[in-house]
């Protein structure tokens, strides 16, 4: 089944593209003659070490002028430069402008997330009769692989050409409490028509659970001094997984119709984000898992985001059955990002393609178990345009 999904995913890329503890050393000084990236980043400011590994910044460019910068610390997307309706280039993701800032700020900005994206209740799950305990970092629960998940690990990155980055990481057996050595490969591809394709692969030495995603925070205005409340969002999902107060799913899959979570018609995000309903109160806004109508079909638009001020749009395609829409509710101004801008509440949003949260503890949810001899594959595409 996964092989079939993967073949469809690769076809979708072709279709859409046609046309632990951290030891830090002092970062290198910026050379006065150094040319910054289009987004204003300096590669020298990303030179350092994490647990003895060298860090750097990698730049992808396409013939249309789009630029994407990635660091090997967490495999993070640091900047994404796309044109607005006037042809002016805008950076549409949050992040920091140095490796030092990433190391000194606890964040998931732009990161590859694993081994398990989203929450696992009480940091425990059973597999083949054995109970595994995970680090707790979100109330009583484990979130995004714990405090030392993939977002805080070093990825080996190879760049075969201007539009491709191959990120590799080996997660040791027992790392963060998960069984099996997991060999992970994530390929970023920048297509000719301004899409970022993220192709995930993983293999394990023992039965384990896997749910990989990317945690980029998007603001299509290109200015995080602005909120995303004026952005218009469509989600091709007529169901969602309701949550309890701690944001762990109840186990149900309910219709969105008649709730403030209905984005089956493109809707301004700010219209219902402070609705008095219980689900919105639990998330302090949107922080829920939507279940797609077109399950595992990367040729169908899963989500579409649009900023009226800039005209920039972003379509999301995926082979995953669901997406977590998070509206930046827990940003609080305590982190100053690129250009020194403090990231306030709701200045960006995430659309994290995924399997459901807490699936290892929810027998009725699609399985996230990976066994030896199998290959985990997943695809997410963020395609940018102008309306």
Q: How crowded is residue 341: how many other Cβ atoms within 10 Å of its Cβ?
A: 15
Judged against a pLDDT cut of 60, whether residue 30 lies above it is answered with no
Q: What is the pLDDT of residue 33?
A: 83
Judged against a pLDDT cut of 70, whether residue 28 lies above it is answered with no
Q: What would the mean pLDDT of 38-50 be, rounded to a whole number?
A: 94
Q: How much helix, strand and coil, in percent to the nearest 5, is found in the chain?
A: 15, 35, 50
Phi-psi region of 63 (alpha: psi -120 to 50; beta: other; left: phi over 0): alpha
Q: What is the pLDDT of residue 50?
A: 74
Three-state secondary structure along 113-134? ECCECCEEHHHEEEECCEEEEC
Lowest-confidence pick of 13-17, 247-251, 261-265, 365-369: 13-17
Q: What is the pLDDT of residue 12?
A: 53
Q: Minimal CA–CA distance to 74: which of 29, 114, 134?
A: 114
Question: Which of the four pLDDT bands, split at 50, 70 and 90, describes residue 137?
Answer: very high
CA distance 335 to 122: 28
Average pLDDT, the chain: 93
CA distance 323 to 47: 34
Q: What is the pLDDT of residue 13?
A: 57
Active site residue 54: no
Q: Is the peptide bond before 115 cis (omega within 30 degrees of 0)?
A: yes
Supply the pTM of this predicted model. Answer: 0.93
Judged against a pLDDT cut of 90, whether residue 310 lies above it is answered with yes
Q: What would the mean pLDDT of 202-206 be, rounded to a whole number?
A: 98
* Paired strand residues for 288: 325
Q: What is the pLDDT of residue 172?
A: 98
Catalytic residue among 144, 151, 175, 215: 215
Q: Are 76 and 92 in contact (CB under 8 A)?
A: no
Q: What is the pLDDT of residue 21?
A: 38
Q: What would the mean pLDDT of 110-128 be, rounded to a whole number?
A: 98
Active site residue 355: no
Catalytic residue among 67, 304, 320, 352: 352
């Amino acid at each position: 089944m996964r092989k079939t999904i993967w073949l469809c995913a690769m076809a979708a890329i072709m279709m859409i593209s046609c046309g632990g503890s951290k030891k830090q050393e002092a970062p290198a000084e910026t050379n006065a003659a150094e040319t910054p990236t289009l987004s204003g980043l300096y590669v020298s400011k990303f030179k350092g070490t994490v647990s003895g590994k060298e860090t750097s910044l990698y730049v992808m460019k396409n013939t249309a002028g789009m630029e994407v910068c990635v660091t090997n610390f967490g495999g993070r997307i640091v900047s994404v430069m796309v044109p607005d309706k006037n042809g002016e280039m805008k950076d549409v993701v949050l992040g920091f402008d140095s490796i030092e800032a990433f190391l000194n700020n606890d964040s998931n900005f732009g990161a590859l997330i694993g081994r398990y994206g989203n929450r696992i209740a009480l940091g425990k799950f059973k597999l083949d009769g054995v109970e595994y305990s995970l680090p707790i970092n979100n109330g009583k629960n484990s979130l995004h692989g714990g405090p030392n998940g993939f977002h805080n690990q070093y990825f080996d990155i190879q760049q075969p050409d201007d539009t491709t980055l191959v990120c590799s990481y080996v997660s040791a057996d027992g790392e963060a409490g998960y069984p099996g050595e997991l060999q992970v490969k994530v390929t970023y591809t920048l297509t000719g028509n301004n899409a970022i394709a993220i192709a995930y692969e993983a293999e394990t030495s023992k039965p384990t659970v896997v749910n990989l995603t990317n945690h980029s925070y998007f603001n299509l205005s290109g200015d995080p001094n602005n909120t995303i409340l004026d952005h218009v969002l469509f989600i091709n999902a007529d169901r969602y997984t309701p949550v309890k107060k701690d944001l762990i799913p109840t186990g149900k899959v309910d219709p969105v119709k008649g709730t403030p979570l209905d984005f089956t018609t493109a809707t301004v995000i700010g219209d219902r984000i402070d609705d008095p309903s219980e689900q919105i109160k639990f998330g302090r806004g949107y922080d829920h898992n939507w279940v797609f109508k077109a399950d595992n079909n990367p040729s169908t638009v899963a989500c579409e985001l649009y900023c009226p001020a800039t005209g920039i749009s972003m379509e999301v395609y995926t082979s995953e059955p669901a997406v977590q829409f998070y509206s930046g509710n827990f940003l609080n101004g305590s982190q100053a990002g690129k250009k020194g801008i403090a990231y306030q509440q709701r200045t960006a949003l995430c659309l994290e393609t995924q399997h459901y949260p807490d699936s290892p503890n929810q027998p009725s949810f699609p399985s996230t178990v990976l066994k030896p001899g199998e290959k985990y594959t997943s695809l997410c595409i963020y395609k940018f345009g102008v309306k």
